[in-house]
Structure 1
Amino acid sequence: MNEKPVRYAIIGSGMMGHEHIRNIRLLPGASVSAVADPDEDMRATAQRLAGEGCAAFADYREMMSGAEFDAILIASPNHTHIDVLKDVMGLDKPILVEKPLCTTLDDCRAVASLQERRRAPLWVAMEYRYMPPVQRLLKEVREGTAGRLRMISIREHRFPFLKKVGDWNRFSAKTGGTLVEKCCHFFDLMRLIAESEPVRVYASGAMDVNFLDETYPEGRPDILDNAFVVVDFANGVRAMLDLCMFAEGSYWQEIISATGDAARVDAFIPGPSRFSPDGRERVSEIAVSPRATKREIREAVHVDEAILAAGDHHGSTYFQHRKFIDLVRRGGTPEVSLNDGLVSVMVGAAAEESARTGQAVAL
């Protein structure tokens, strides 16, 4: 049976916009009919990447009135999300908006208010949920492998923030801060694994290594490059994030652990191939360590290399789009809700505040 075609209009065709285009092209019946970006070079390369039939616009407002599409993808810089969403939500088309939903909690709440007037769904792009090793960890936890869950640990040791057009990602005012911009993914995962709401956040972080010699007309970069964050949940589960953004020599970029009274379950996720010594994709792994046997059971989690090569997020962008396209075609409720996006920003903003003040923040 032939599926209904889904045509995307993409707002923001930078690095992440390009990743979305590569993944959309892998999906049957999906295409990019239009891209919008004020940067001429990014706009042109995105249009070529999208292929025949893709129109290009310097202004997304012109695209909204001048192109034909079935869904909107917002991948513009974080600080632009609020204004873009205000402009496009009136079209009542399905929207996939990149994380973070917005850079501030007030802006997230404003979007939530606008969404109440819409029929079409809004999905927040929390790609990390859809990494195959993360999906496997969630399955093990849900099936009771760990027993009663008590602790969650997420370690991300990775490369520094990459070069972006206009270097907007060097400043907290435009990103929301590292613990919002980068780490909302992890606070979302903590909440998903714990199946509970966060109640308290404590963070210690600093800008110690990256971008110390950079200067811009608006000043010096002010984004954290390392932090520890502890999150307490209402059901008694506690979680910790260990972030280092000057550790691209690490074999595993992320290690996610869920520990209960019966076992620990670990997901081991390598970084993108372009940061590996030989430029090749590496296989992720899952491990289960039961207390009863004291024997670790470890196995590889294989992902098609064409999917891995389409982006920097271990296949998650592809699997997310597959689910989003199904929502566009058949209707229903987004797996990642606007409230999920809002809470992840709330925790990230609380962590930024805690790192600045040295005080725990109650939510």
Structure 2
Amino acid sequence: MSKVIHYGIVGCGMMGQEHLRNIALLPDARVAAIVEPDAEQAALAAAMAPGAQFCNDIEALLAVEPLDCLLVASPNHMHLQQLEQIGRIRPLPMLMEKPLYSDEAQAARIASLGYAAPIWVAMEYRYMPPIQALIDQVDAATGGPLMLTIREHRFPFLEKVGNWNRFNETSGGTLVEKCCHFFDLMRLILRSEPVRVMASAGQSVNFRDDRIEGRQPDVWDNGYVIVDFESGARAMLELCMFAEGSRYQEEISVTGPNGKIEALVPGPTRFWPAHLGAPPVPQVIVSPRSPKGPQIVDIPVDPTLLDAGDHNGSTFYQHDRFRRVVMGEGAVEVTLDDGARAVAMGHAAQRSAMTGEAVEIPAPESVLRSVAGAV
């Protein structure tokens, strides 16, 4: 492999362009080839990745040499089919955007997937600096996590190509599309597997009066999800997507027998009102039971990384670690199994909200077996 890592990119909409900006910040990395069928998005991508070859389809992209790795950032409902197609033609190390799949019926295809190269599922929230600090300190601060609360108060879904994120059938639904990040964090922080999900959610404000090609958008914009875990710990998600006036977008708290630790994460810098001055700085707060007294630490993020995306610098850190995998110098940190389990939790939450009943989550052992050689 050459010293420079050559990326092939599938999908250069809003998230794909964030990836392009962050790849440009990596040492010894460049984008060699791109598939983007939308002319407007392709033009924007061309300006960000000068010299990249634009291809009409995935087959043409995979024929490009040199190509060392792939990033897939296409609309959700395309992910699994494209993953399977790449696996048949030329499996290269891949950073696959979440969710790994969108339709609950597709879980069996994940379980039978064969892919002869590493796959890293893009769970950017893991790599936000304040959340990383919380993860690193959680045991020392809490004495072992027993309760976890994640609150996201944010803006509505942004407009994307073809409005695919406004409909359940193409997005997978809000608790999959948006919230698989948070279910991944629950498993990671609690180091346990979910056994039961209870949820209440719906569409209360956003897009209710919209019509897109004669159809009303049906994605939910708020909800509560409670998850019981094998360890006896429990977690809760509170989502509101009509609360963009909040000072912090994500607030995460973890409590155990010795105390509590919190991470406060601002929303995208570009949305902070200029008349309010500088945007808030991320914080981590440790609150021991004894001696009492919260300890507040600012976790500033490099402004260059803030300007490169909407995820508090995490996209850059994720690519930096993925690059080590491509170079053969590191291991995949967010596996195919992690991605599948987070989506399964999202689908379970959506079923619970629709039926009003708790949903049991069996351990997906078939997924564990199928990905053992691919991660």
Q: CA deviation at 1:6?
A: 0.7
Corresponding residue number in structure 1 for 2:249: 253
* Distance of 2:286 and 2:337 partners within structure 1: 32
Q: Name the counterpart of 2:31.
A: 32
Name 1:21's counterpart in structure 2. Answer: 20
Q: CA deviation at 1:100?
A: 0.3
Query: Are positions 1:347 and 2:345 aligned together?
Result: yes
Contact 2:35 2:56 in 1 (8 A): yes
Alpha carbons of 1:282 and 1:96: their partners in 2 closer, same or farther (altered >3 Å)?
same
Give the counterpart letter for 1:88 in structure 2: I
Q: Report matched runs for 1:35-184 at 5 Å.
A: 35-51=34-50, 53-66=51-64, 68-90=66-88, 91-115=90-114, 118-142=115-139, 144-184=140-180
Superposed CA RMSD in Å reads 1.6
Deviations 1:237-268, CA, capped at 9 Å, x for gaps: 10000000000000000001110010100000
- What do the CA deviations read for 1:37-60 (whole angstroms, capped 9, x no partner)? 110110121021012x21112323
| CA drift at 1:65 | 2.0
**Amino acid in the other structure paired with 2:168:** S
When normalised by structure 1's length, the TM-score is 0.95
- 1:195 is displaced (CA, Å) by 0.2
The CA distance in 2 between the partners of 1:215 and 1:92, in whole Å, is 40
Give 1:199 deviation, angstroms.
Answer: 0.3
Question: Displacement of 1:109 after TM fit?
Answer: 3.7
State how far apart, in whole Å, the 2-side matches of 1:66 and 1:34 are.
Answer: 7
What is the Cα deviation at residue 281 of structure 1? 4.6
SS at 1:200 equivalent:
strand
Counterpart Cα distance in 2 of 1:40 and 1:344: 33
**Structure 2 counterpart SS, 1:236:** coil
CA distance in 2: counterparts of 1:280 and 1:288, whole angstroms: 24
C-alpha separation in 1, matches of 2:205 and 2:23: 36
In 2, the alpha carbon distance for the partners of 1:148 and 1:121 equals 32
Work out whether residues 154 and 255 of structure 1, in 8 Å CA contact, stay in contact via their aligned partners in 2: yes
Report how far residue 213 of structure 1 moved.
1.1
1:186 is aligned to 182
Given that 2:87 and 2:116 are in contact with CA atoms closer than 8 Å, whether structure 1 keeps it comes out as no
Q: Secondary structure at the match of 1:252?
A: coil
2:14 aligned partner, one-letter code: M
- How many residue pairs end up in the alignment? 358
Report the alpha carbon displacement of residue 280 of structure 1 after superposing the two structures with TM.
5.0
- 2:262 aligns with 266
Write the deviation string for residues 265-315 of structure 1: whole angstroms up to 9, x where unpaired. Answer: 000000011111118553100000001122000010011110111000001
CA distance 1:160–1:88, shift in 2 (3 Å):
same
The answer to whether the 8 Å contact 1:274/1:280 transfers is no
User: Is the CA contact (8 Å cut-off) linking 1:43 and 1:58 kept in structure 2?
Assistant: no
CA contact (8 A) 1:40 1:58 kept: no
Comparing 199-208 with 103-112, greater Cα deviation is found at 103-112
Q: Take 2:69 and 2:7, find their aligned partners in 1: how far apart are those partners?
A: 5
Rounded to whole Å, the distance in 1 between the matches of 2:105 and 2:132 is: 31
| 1:32 alignment partner AA | V
Cα distance between partner residues in 2 of 1:80 and 1:111: 14
Structure 2: distance between partners of 1:202 and 1:308? 35
SS at structure 2 position matched to 1:18? helix
Once the two structures are overlaid, the 10-residue window that deviates more, 285-294 or 103-112, is 103-112
The 1-side partners of 2:212 and 2:119 are apart by 35
Determine if contact 2:143/2:259 at 8 Å carries over to the other structure. yes
Relative to 1, partners in 2 of residues 1:12 and 1:173: Cα closer, same or farther, differing over 3 Å? Answer: same
Segments of 4+ moved more than 6 angstroms: none
**Structure 1 match to 2:360:** 362
Q: Give the 5 Å matches for 1:237-252.
A: 237-252=233-248
User: Does the CA contact (< 8 Å) of 2:261 and 2:284 recur in 1?
Assistant: yes
Deviation at 1:66, TM superposition (A): 3.9
- Return the alpha-carbon distance in structure 2 between the equivalents of residues 18 and 148 of structure 1: 39
Aligned equivalents of 1:80, 1:98: Cα separation in 2: 11
Q: Which moved more, 1:19-28 or 1:118-127?
A: 118-127
Whether the aligned pair in 2 keeps the contact of 1:112 and 1:338 (CA below 8 Å) is: no
- Looking at structure 2, the residues matched to 66 and 327 of structure 1 have their Cα atoms a distance apart, in angstroms, of 21
Which amino acid in the other structure matches residue 124 of structure 1? V
Following superposition, the deviation at residue 218 of structure 1 comes to: 5.9
Instruction: Check the 8 A contact 1:327/1:334 in 2, yes or no.
Output: yes
- Alignment check: 8 A CA contact 2:17 2:45 kept: yes
Q: Secondary structure at the match of 1:193?
A: helix
CA-to-aligned-CA distance 1:104-156 (integer Å, 9 cap, x gap): 344244134223xx3310110001000010110011114x2211321000000
User: What is the distance in 2 between the residues matched to 1:146 and 1:119?
Assistant: 40
Deviation of the 1:14 alpha carbon: 0.1
Asked if 1:277 is matched to 2:276, the reply is no
Matches within 5 A, 1:251-330: 251-278=247-274, 281-330=279-328
Question: Which segments of 5 or more consecutive residues in structure 1 lack a partner in the other structure?
Answer: none
